[in-house]
Structure 1
């Protein structure tokens, strides 16, 4: 899949993190990507990170210098370093999300300050928990939850039941490339809405936005972007993409070529 790059300078480029801007579970942006983004930024392009993570790595922020950052699949948005919007579960919706029948599931609740997770007795916490800072699941406040994550081999069935009973909630995962991981966010908290809100906040016409993504939670963002770039080969995203970068490691060359076409110094 390929298409000619737009000749009009984009005003906003929005990037997913894992598998798109950086390798999965990484925390470093490749030098050629940093260089290309610098060229585009100097020409007036606004940059945004829109990620499923609850926190974007400080090294990534420093390298990209984004004008906006959306975390929790778009549920929490900062624009120019200031909180712009935050989507929190209602008590009834949270109760429904937590009413699962998945024996042995690892459940994680995310707030803006920390995460809450069940760590079975006799087991060691995983490194990502230690880095983020965590507390027992039972201590989670019920009025500040931004995202719920499930890890379980049979999470797809639970996801379908939740879609049937609460179609207004946003569910991602439970399918390739993350068949054993389900993320649930409140109504309206998805990457497509985040891209639109960020564009409005930065006064960028939606037609002048470019979105980059590789996974199912990027589908809404690619769908609403003025120009959509699929990174990787997930079939689900092909119908929304104007062009494709087959490998994450090729992103820098793609962005450099875009800057070259625009004759940027």
Structure 2
């Protein structure tokens, strides 16, 4: 249980957690985070997205000082673009993952030094390769297209922060998760959406990155809070002094959390932070 009177570090997952379903930040959330920051709270974006694909609306504000990206594979100082921590995939791991993807006829995308790349055909029509309709606009607006993604990623196998495998259904996802878990060592394997398997180095994970930032900022674990809604948030929710799931989270995430807040569309993150600030001000 958190014995700190004040939360000093808040890690916010974006998609499905802090962002509304239309990918926007409400004015209420913006003002609440601004107020919390002005009262001494460090705000950290904690996303499965790469740095270059973070939505501008989430990182343009002064309160967005740090970003955990690619599921913890890289940590940035947002407004300078400086990398504070990184753990790239090992080249031999990249080779194995690409071979498995090719053998199973699934699409891949890779994050090279914070920039997301994928095949031109996938970027032009993500749904054809199994992506959800929900992710189409994100893919089209953030991925840099290359003609042969497998050749490109092999060429850059020493520079990969992480690699995503695009799956079209739960059966394929389960099969590939089993194959990868059995055949590839030294990885952190997770998922933020039903159509992706997200793979980083074993030293990655949002929890590890959050622990690094807490140490970097000299903030005790008990004074941290983490918000999330998906599998890739569970380790961070469990590590933080207080782990909070939004109400729209699946049951496995809700079970991992200490508290449940309102949904992303009801500004659950901001509402929790405002209540915490009000409670602390009366101590």
**Which residue number corresponds to residue 87 of structure 1?**
87
**Which residue number corresponds to residue 139 of structure 1?**
152
Rounded to whole Å, the distance in 2 between the matches of 1:248 and 1:135 is 34
1:45 and 2:41 matched: yes
**Which residue number corresponds to residue 213 of structure 1?**
228
SS in 1 for 2:219: coil
**Alpha-carbon contact 1:107-1:148 (below 8 Å) kept:** yes
Report the more deviating stretch, 128-137 or 162-171: 128-137
SS in 1 for 2:17: coil
Rounded to whole Å, the distance in 2 between the matches of 1:187 and 1:7 is 31
**Which residue number corresponds to residue 172 of structure 1?**
190
Higher relative helix content = 2
**Alpha-carbon contact 2:25-2:58 (below 8 Å) kept:** yes
Shift of residue 161 of structure 1? 1.8
Shift of residue 247 of structure 1? 1.1
**Alpha-carbon contact 1:40-1:259 (below 8 Å) kept:** yes
Equivalent residue runs for 1:135-214 within 5 Å: 135-136=146-147, 137=149, 138-140=151-153, 141-152=156-167, 153=169, 154-173=172-191, 178-214=193-229
Give the structure-1-normalised TM-score. Answer: 0.87
Shift of residue 118 of structure 1? 2.6
Rounded to whole Å, the distance in 1 between the matches of 2:28 and 2:75 is 27
SS in 2 for 1:179: coil
**Alpha-carbon contact 1:39-1:259 (below 8 Å) kept:** no
**Which residue number corresponds to residue 9 of structure 1?**
6
Deviations 1:80-137 (A, max 9, x none): 632101121111111121121554412111112533323449x935554453223231
CA RMSD of aligned residues (A): 2.5
Deviations 1:25-68 (A, max 9, x none): 61x31111111112211111111011001132122112462221
Deviations 1:157-193 (A, max 9, x none): 11112112334311112xxx73332111112111010
Corresponding residue to 1:238 among 230, 254, 271: 254
**Alpha-carbon contact 2:3-2:222 (below 8 Å) kept:** no
SS in 2 for 1:52: coil
**Alpha-carbon contact 1:170-1:188 (below 8 Å) kept:** yes
Quick one: structure 1 residues 168 and 44, their matched pair in 2 at CA, closer, same or farther if it must change by over 3 Å?
same
Rounded to whole Å, the distance in 1 between the matches of 2:257 and 2:233 is 11
**Alpha-carbon contact 1:229-1:245 (below 8 Å) kept:** yes
**Which residue number corresponds to residue 60 of structure 1?**
58
Report the more deviating stretch, 138-147 or 108-117: 108-117
**Which residue number corresponds to residue 277 of structure 2?**
259
Rounded to whole Å, the distance in 1 between the matches of 2:185 and 2:30 is 39
Rounded to whole Å, the distance in 2 between the matches of 1:107 and 1:79 is 28
**Number of equivalenced pairs:** 256
